[in-house]
Chains A and B, each alone.
Chain A
């Protein structure tokens, strides 16, 4: 039904915006109703998960500086050992079997805040020929007005040494732009909170990746 191209490949299905009501399908509770027994992506860790409990949070701003209050944010990350719950990860060493590493949430309709309670990931092998990557969390953002999901990474402000060696941060040429990927740590109620604001457009625009 889908025509192949001249080399016999199928073209990827085009992206479309997730729209303002993305919550209905992906976080129905936020849309205002309860339907599924199991809401996917709500909790990242359980009581047995290894690693340091952290909170990451932030807001998303549009090109006028206004809050984006209808976005959906998903994260994907390695466990405390720097291992992914996926067969392609053949790094040696232990892996935390109780940690999937994926979560999703919506920005708050009033405050625009998004947040995840998760664990701090370990360092991860880079591509062949590259050094290890610094601890980071992959983010994927969709919303009304965003035609194709935006991919970025959150790095940690208290990992200066690892960040300096990170093969992805190093290809961001401008130091000011590199800083848009680094979350600021602070202490709250005895735990560490990393603040990561995202600017879609304009001054201090967050680096987004074509992955």
Chain B
């Protein structure tokens, strides 16, 4: 996005509303009062930039970034890749993408997770990378397992990977989750169903991408991310932007 653009307004229909009783924790964590709409100022169109020097060489390889010497995590090895685009389908280069997930058995490496599936000693479960000049990101990991959680009596999360994405402005900040094509738990998932539009739910599902797999080694899934785009505006009383 051009430095002088402001962002198109967020389409509330694309996102889950704050209050979604099917996901019970939202009931007491949803503001009751309407959001106050702000026209973008410098505080919203600006945001942090990150450099490759801030990342380590294995940060986007979850198969190796927490493995002990000679060890490797258990599970289905996959590459997850895609592009970060804006609303005008233009690539968003040089932005930070971070991701975290459970291990192959659905267990998170987190002090508050007491699910009895074991921790994998060779798997941390997080990574990060910067998009390249064409907006592409990629990382290698193992496919996460489903995970039970206390919502309804027998709720299980589908296999999913959490994503955190920065754009060029703080107003583009987005956290979301990626699911896997064909997973039958998807249609039962309370959290995915917080997104009201079934077509929007589908946009969170990564597709199997055999063309990007490594034969005899690693399968691949592809998933593209769309951030809010910029639009021309009358900053400083001149038409600028895009």
Contacts and interface: CB of A to CB of B under 8 A. Distances in A.
Interface size class, chain B: 35 or more
B191 A16 contact: yes
B242 to A, nearest CB: 13
B11 A12 contact: yes
21 contacts: A1-B224, A2-B226, A10-B85, A10-B89, A13-B204, A18-B164, A19-B162, A25-B99, A28-B124, A35-B65, A63-B28, A76-B48, A86-B45, A88-B4, A124-B43, A127-B41, A167-B41, A177-B33, A207-B33, A210-B35, A211-B40
Interface string B122-166: 001110100000000000000000000000000000000010100
Contacts of B37: 209-210
Contacts of A190: none
Interface of B: 3-4, 7, 9-11, 14-18, 20, 23, 25-33, 35-50, 54-56, 59, 65-66, 85-89, 96, 98-100, 108-113, 124-126, 128, 162, 164, 168-171, 173-177, 191-192, 194-195, 199-201, 203-204, 207, 222, 224-229, 234-237
Top 9 nearest A-B pairs (CB, nearest first) are A25-B100, A145-B25, A86-B46, A102-B48, A145-B29, A147-B16, A210-B35, A63-B28, A32-B111
Nearest to B100: A25
Interface of A: 1-4, 8-26, 28, 31-33, 35-38, 40, 62-64, 66, 68, 70, 74, 76, 78, 84-91, 100-102, 109, 124-130, 133, 136, 138, 140, 142-151, 153, 167-168, 171-172, 177, 200-202, 205-211
